[in-house]
Chains A and B, each alone.
Chain A
């Protein structure tokens, strides 16, 4: 199987190439078969690899990419347990989303372009997780960024979508620039970009807390927070919902945004040598998960709620990474991919059946009208809230308990995570109650067809029982110390989501409390507006970055450097005018000038001689 690893990214790449070159000539049926089939075939390859896997990492070198001086980076793959988890998620969930797209996007005039971009994305993402060196990883990293840009702005005839796409690309690029610097620094230290060689060398060369290690991991973290939409580079993700909904499910929920988590997990040996960075990872994760949960509570666009919830859930993964619960984070990455893809696809089904309605205030009572979507959403929300026995429960519980046992500030991290879990249940079930219960505001004009229903059903199953699957990463990460937390910690961790669910019941089903009254009160109004605008971070960045850059551009627009050369030209013209004015044609004047000139010259000669 090792020799066929290259097929996994090559299949979607081949399909993308065909679609780009000949997509216009193909019928939609062929386009869909190619686009969906190639990812399905890649998924089968992954499945075969998993079945034959013996536990040892697989390595495969295709060709030398760049070899100059000390630098030697190949197009070569390294597949271990961590990679296999990622591969399974990308191709498995990816296949379901492709399948769903075939129906969801039917009738779009750029059907082939859509599948070409989506396949290209899958290729880049697969390369990212399979790369054995940081340069190839960066290739995939930037590739997914570009595809994300293309897909957010897929309907680019609307200028707002273009703006959202640019924002996503540029904000993540800022993180990528930091990551590139991290690569340069690591190369300067170790003379290689090979991840395994570098990890081994770091262990020998660096003691724990080495300043270079801290700096290098901090730079890598810069890239990770950009791609994974964590503070302070999270602002692009809510806007990224401008793309088609399956894109949000695949890229902006299940796969690409977890790339930062993957990067930190992949280079965990470096991060372990830099405790300050690791603590920063945990704090960033905690702050992000809380901030995003509050913001999610105050949105009314169904996709934006899910987007903020994605930011929040990735915050949990970062928290897990920061406290050394590597396996738990990767586990949560996988279960999150299941239930968040499910939620997005269900939301897409609602939007599809409700004439592109996004606002949950215009929905309601859909429980009986769209039963399959209701069940999907219910399961998804339960898993997202980590209600016991769902997939999200197993993974999130591990992270929350690990946070409690963190060496630094453990109980605080735990308390934050528990508060976040409460908020998660609150906003998840707010969504369920507002959309599916109460009065019917808009009637659906169709039901999801089999192409959309099948992926929903499969993802429902995974979101429910995905927690029983393990992640085979015990050989990848250091052994976690599993102490048993006190009983009260366990009980609170498990019970809090139920409290959130209960409060949502009271608030949004009109059982005693009314959410409307709360929001209408002056402090409620202010807070609602503040959280609705995502803590006004966008406004801050506008003032901090965008306006100064526009101002600088406006200032330099007239090219100040050219004024310098303009001055030279002006001087020449001045002399030219002065001299041509002296050409008067009057003999007397010429004579005078000549005599004066002769006297001056004689004087100079005489002085020089004397």
Chain B
């Protein structure tokens, strides 16, 4: 696992340096690094015995995890370099690397200035995300959480569009401020643990089930919750997202929507709820209300947009509402739904951002009032947009349906009223998705307009995502089986 991080980190450095050698070299170096990391992961997973995947990853037994590494780092405070991998982490790491490839493909011809530094930032951001999904020492987790943030800030601030300064600043301040709350919470948690046990530790395994005064527990939980909900983003902490997404270069949007948002969901699932089960239970009605509000609010605002990218950004707010609902419903079906949503949304939204990016590159606008009838000029792009629109509105047979269905089904068992409100999202989701398609690709068009259709590289990327979404939609069982042990163990850890 350390090698995985090193490959990405060093690959980033190498990509930066390679620009001196040839202006096109960085993207090849980056592609090589991500591909190698993916290959490395695949081989490592392949070599694990099959029965290992059905073990429950127990907190007390590191060897029940798929992989586990523990190195001393700052022994005085009990801070260790501790990484572990279970089905959930593996899924998200694989998704990260895959979307890394897709981000590279989407920016293949888009970036022509400082391309070395661009690719370096892309890879460093990936390093941070991969680290976040594997770190099980809370201090280390926080470090990775920050590591992914800074390169992403630079990606938006340097290679973004016209309003990049405002957007990148907003992004940075929102995530940084909420990250600070998390740091305070982590320190308080570790201090409390030291008071009880006599020694400092930031290890997830030690802190799980560490007794905490209930009122203090609530505040510490809130620190974690806020940090992750800002990242998710949950209503009403989402306002950084439309700006950041709209201004980011395509690769930035792909990474941001595809995986950075998922670190918020992952944090809630891995840390917030299991570390503070009672406080979370108490807080669940509020979290669910925020989730349901986000679904409807995001959908209405998406409908109100005229900027293609902003529309997709608000649709993310709506979709992430389902994740929040699934997590706080806290039963096996709903949590699995939330996990599938993380993956499916990662793919479908990344693809829609790619479409948006290609349109911007070709037409130099994101304004849908200047589009329309593009099917005429670029039918292949139109077909891709149609497919991902259908995925985004939750058409059965595609991954997003499985996710939303499981979330709502699980949620209905614990909070039927919230489920009724959230089910409205099925209707509102259809409204904004179809309007988006109409304004960009359908309607009367101009056959003379110079909008080149997708070429081989773009089609290959799109077909890969299409295939994955269909696979997730008709045979989600493979993913469900992979993550089921983690879900079971988390559920039993925190009680249902």
Q: Are B390 and A146 in contact (CB under 8 A)?
A: yes
The segment from A450-458, A474-482, A488-496, A553-561 that touches chain B is: A553-561
B438 engages A162 (CB within 8 Å): yes
Stretch of A95-103, A167-175, A199-207, A368-376 with 4 or more beta carbons under 8 angstroms from chain B: A167-175
Given A66-B480, A68-B332, A69-B331, decide whether A173 and B300 contact each other with a Cβ distance below 8 A: no
Residue interface mask B293-323, A partner, CB < 8 A = 1: 0000100110111000000000000000000
Contact assessment for B435 and A166 in the assembled complex, using a CB-CB cutoff below 8 Å: yes
Residues of B within 8 Å of A174, CB to CB, are: 427
Tell me the minimal C-beta distance from B161 to chain A in angstroms: 19
Q: Are B402 and A66 in contact (CB under 8 A)?
A: yes
Q: How far is the CB of A475 from chain B (nearest CB, A)?
A: 30
Residue A67 at the chain B interface, CB threshold 8 Å: yes
Chain A CB within 8 A of B397 CB: yes
Is there contact, CB below 8 Å, between B434 and A176? no
> Is there an interface contact between B477 and A67, defined as CB atoms closer than 8 Å?
yes
Cβ contacts A361-396/B at 8 Å (1 or 0 each): 000000000000000000000000000000000000
User: Which residues of the partner chain B approach A181 to less than 8 Å between Cβ atoms?
Assistant: 412, 419-420, 423
Which B residues, 416 to 433, have Cβ-Cβ distances below 8 Å to chain A? Answer: 416, 419-420, 423-424, 426-427, 430-431
Q: B419 touching A166 by the CB < 8 A rule? A: no
Chain A residues near B35: list those with CB within 8 A: none
Cβ contact within 8 Å between B474 and A65: yes
A142 to B480, CA, bound (A): 23
Which of B300, B333, B424 is in CB contact (< 8 Å) with A553? B300
**Which residues of A531-558 have CB atoms within 8 Å of chain B's CB atoms?**
549, 552-554, 556-557
Question: Given that A166-B435, A187-B409 are contacting pairs, would A173 and B430 also be in contact in the complex, using a CB cutoff of 8 Å?
Answer: yes
Given contacts A67-B480, A187-B409, contact A557 B301 (CB under 8 A): yes
Complexed CA–CA distance, A153 and B386 (Å): 12
B23 CB-CB contact with A under 8 Å: no
Instruction: Please name all residues of chain A whose beta carbon is closer than 8 Å to the beta carbon of B78 when the two chains form the complex.
Output: none
Task: Judge whether A159 and B412 touch: CB under 8 Å.
Answer: no
Chain A 112-152 interface mask (CB, 8 Å, partner B; 1/0): 00000000000000000000000100110111001001000
- B373 interface residue, CB < 8 Å from A? yes
- B396 partner residues in chain A, CB cutoff 8 A: 138-139, 141-143
* B57-65, B132-140, B441-449 - interface stretch: B441-449
Q: Decide: A173 near B301, CB < 8 A? Known: A69-B333, A157-B444, A184-B419.
A: no
In this complex, the member of A162, A552, A554 whose beta carbon has the largest number of chain B beta carbons within 10 angstroms is: A162
What number of A-B contacts does a CB cutoff of 8 Å give? 135
Question: Is B430 touching A169 in the complex (CB atoms < 8 A)?
Answer: yes
Q: Mark B214-252, 1 if CB is under 8 A from A, else 0.
A: 000000000000000000000110110010000000000
Residues of B within 8 A of A554 (CB): 304
Q: Which residues of chain B are within 8 angstroms of A162 by Cβ–Cβ distance?
A: 438, 442-443
Residues of B within 8 A of A183 (CB): 409
- Which residue of A20, A64, A138, A157 contacts B376 across the interface (Cβ within 8 Å)? A157
Q: How distant is the Cα of A93 from the Cα of B303 in the complex, in angstroms?
A: 39
Q: Which B residues touch A3, using CB under 8 A?
A: none
B332 touches A153 (CB 8 A): no
In the bound complex, CA of A67 to CA of B304 (Å): 38
A176 to B484, CA, bound (A): 29
Answer whether residue B395 sits at the interface, using C-beta atoms and an 8 A cutoff.
yes
Contact present for A65 and B476 (CB under 8 Å): yes
Tell me the minimal C-beta distance from A194 to chain B in angstroms. Answer: 15
Q: Once bound together, how far apart are the Cα atoms of A181 and B418, in whole Å?
A: 11
Please measure, in the bound complex, the distance between the C-alpha atom of A554 and the C-alpha atom of B304, giving whole angstroms.
6
Contacts of A556 in B (CB 8 A): 297, 300-301, 304
Q: Which residue of A lies closest to B242 (CB)?
A: A559
- Whether a CB of chain B sits under 8 angstroms from the CB of A445 is no
Using Cβ atoms and an 8 Å threshold, which residues of chain B touch A565? 239
Q: Please name all residues of chain B whose beta carbon is closer than 8 Å to the beta carbon of A517 when the two chains form the complex.
A: none
User: Are A184's CB and B438's CB within 8 A?
Assistant: no
Known contacts: A159-B443, A166-B438. The answer to whether A66 contacts B420 by CB under 8 A is no
Q: Shortest distance in angstroms between B339's beta carbon and chain A's nearest beta carbon?
A: 10
Q: Check B430–A68 contact: CB distance below 8 A.
A: no
Which single member of A75, A141, A188, A553 contacts B303 (CB below 8 Å)? A553
Q: Is the CB of A177 within 8 A of B423?
A: yes
Chain A: minimal CB distance from B5 (Å)? 32
Distance A173 CA – B427 CA, assembled complex (angstroms)? 6
B336 contacts the other chain (CB 8 A): yes
Given the complex, which residues of B lie within 8 Å of A187, measured CB to CB?
Answer: 409, 412-413
* A487 interface residue per 8 A CB criterion: no
A156 on the interface (CB 8 Å rule)?
Answer: yes
Cross-chain contact of A157 among B242, B412, B431, B445 (Cβ < 8 A): B445
Please name all residues of chain B whose beta carbon is closer than 8 Å to the beta carbon of A552 when the two chains form the complex: 300
Distance in Å from the Cβ of A239 to the closest Cβ of chain B? Answer: 14
Q: Take A180-B405, A188-B413 as given contacts and tell me if A170 and B423 are in contact as well, using a CB distance cutoff of 8 Å.
A: no
Contact partners of B476 in chain A: CB under 8 A:
65-66
Q: Is A564 an interface residue (CB 8 A)?
A: yes
What is the distance, in angstroms, from A515's C-beta to the closest C-beta of chain B? 38
A361 CB → nearest B CB, Å: 28
A63: chain B residues at CB < 8 Å are 475, 477
B235: chain A residues within 8 A (beta carbon): 561
A599 within 8 A of B: no
B67-95 CB contacts (< 8 Å) to partner A: none
Contacts of A165 in B (CB 8 A): 434
In whole angstroms, how far apart are the Cα atoms of A52 and B160 in the complex? 66
The reply on A353 being an interface residue by CB < 8 A is no
Interface centre among A157, A174, A184, A565, by most chain B C-beta atoms within 10 angstroms, is: A184
A372 → chain B closest CB, angstroms = 36
Indicate if A197 sits at the interface (CB-CB under 8 A). no
Could you tell me if B431 and A170 are in contact, using CB atoms closer than 8 angstroms?
Answer: yes
> CB distance B397 to A143 under 8 Å?
yes
With a cutoff of 8 Å between Cβ atoms, the chain A residues found around residue B130 in the complex are none
Question: Does chain A have a CB within 8 A of B408?
Answer: yes
Interface positions, chain A 182-233, Cβ under 8 Å from B, are 183-185, 187-188
Report B363-420 residues with CB < 8 Å from chain A CB.
Answer: 373, 375-376, 383, 390, 395-397, 401-402, 405-406, 408-410, 412-413, 416, 419-420
Q: What is the CA–CA distance of A139 and B476 in the complex, to the nearest angstrom? A: 14
Taking a contact as CB atoms under 8 Å apart, the answer to whether A564 and B236 are in contact is: yes
Q: How far is the CB of A209 from chain B (nearest CB, A)?
A: 21
Specify which chain B residues have a CB less than 8 angstroms from the CB of A66 in the assembled complex: 402, 406, 476-477, 480
Shortest Cβ distance from A71 into B: residue: B333
B126 → A minimal CB distance (Å): 29
The answer for the CA separation of A187 and B412 in the assembled complex, in Å, is 9
Within 8 Å CB of B419, what residues of A? 181, 184
Q: Is the CB of A68 within 8 A of B304?
A: no
Cβ-defined partner of B443 (8 Å) among A65, A157, A561: A157
- From A20, A64, A169, A562, give the contact of B239 (CB < 8 A): A562
B291 to chain A, nearest CB (A): 15
Closest to A157 in B: B444
Q: Report the minimum CB–CB distance from B207 to chain A (whole Å).
A: 28
B442: which of A70, A142, A156, A188 is its contact (CB, 8 Å)?
A: A156
Question: Which of B408, B445, B475, B477 interacts with A184 by CB under 8 Å?
Answer: B408
Return the CB mask of A563-574 against B: 1 if under 8 Å, else 0. 011000000000
Closest A residue to B476 by CB, please name it.
A66
Q: A66-B402, A68-B484, A75-B474 are in contact. Are A553 and B430 (CB under 8 A)?
A: no
Encoded as 1 (CB less than 8 Å from any A CB) or 0, chain B from 453 to 496 comes to 00000000000000000000011110010001000000000000
B442 touches A153 (CB 8 A): yes
- Chain A positions within 8 Å of B, measured between CB atoms, are 20, 63-71, 75, 135, 138-139, 141-143, 146, 149, 153, 156-159, 162, 165-166, 169-170, 173-174, 176-177, 180-181, 183-185, 187-188, 549, 552-554, 556-557, 559, 561-562, 564-565
Jot down 5 A-B pairs with beta carbons below 8 A, ordered by A.
A156-B442, A166-B434, A552-B300, A553-B301, A565-B239
Known: A20-B383, A181-B419. 10 other contacts (CB 8 A): A65-B474, A69-B331, A71-B409, A142-B396, A159-B442, A159-B443, A162-B442, A170-B427, A174-B427, A554-B304
**3 cross-chain pairs, A with B, having the tightest CB-CB distances, nearest first:** A184-B412, A69-B332, A553-B304
